[in-house]
Amino acid sequence: MFAAIGGGSEFKNGRHLAAWLGLVPRQHSSGYRRLMMGISKRGSQHLRTLLVHGARTVVRMAVRKTDARSIWVNEGRLRRGYNRATEDARVIWAVLTSGEPHRAAV
């Protein structure tokens, strides 16, 4: 990830990074009507594939564990669903821009 985006300062926030990777839904809006479609699949297909498969593995393995990070992952999975829990590009952006290691919100 670092080789592809550097320190992450090129992006205003984590959503912009997720959009650049193609992990956010395509939006088709007109007036007051807002229609969200499937993910846009823009950006690097290889990087997006690695992120999705890596995140799915983390979510799948966190079911068996009881440490703070696994509890955080399980709560996200239960609250938002399995596939939505795999969107970790925003967390990666936050870690890259802050320079601090990730701490699970307990």
Two structure tokens written together for 62:
């966190």
Distance (Å, rounded) from C-alpha 69 to C-alpha 103? 8
- Is residue 106 scored above 60 in pLDDT? no
Distance (Å, rounded) from C-alpha 18 to C-alpha 5? 12
Share of the chain above pLDDT 70, in %: 81
The stretch 25-34 carries a mean pLDDT of: 73
Averaged confidence pLDDT in the chain: 78
Distance (Å, rounded) from C-alpha 52 to C-alpha 57? 9
Higher pLDDT, 2 or 85: 2
Nearest to 61 by CA among 74, 44, 47, 48: 74
Number of domains composing the chain: 1
Q: What share of the chain is helix, strand, coil (3-state, %, to 5)?
A: 55, 10, 35
- Is residue 87 scored above 70 in pLDDT? no
Classify residue 91: in a domain, yes or no: yes
Pairing status of strand 33-39 against strand 25-30: antiparallel
Residue 86 has a pLDDT of 63
pTM assigned to the model: 0.65
Classify residue 103: in a domain, yes or no: no
Residue 21 sits in which domain range?
2-98
Classify residue 104: in a domain, yes or no: no
Residue 8 has a pLDDT of 80
Beta bridge partners of 29: 34
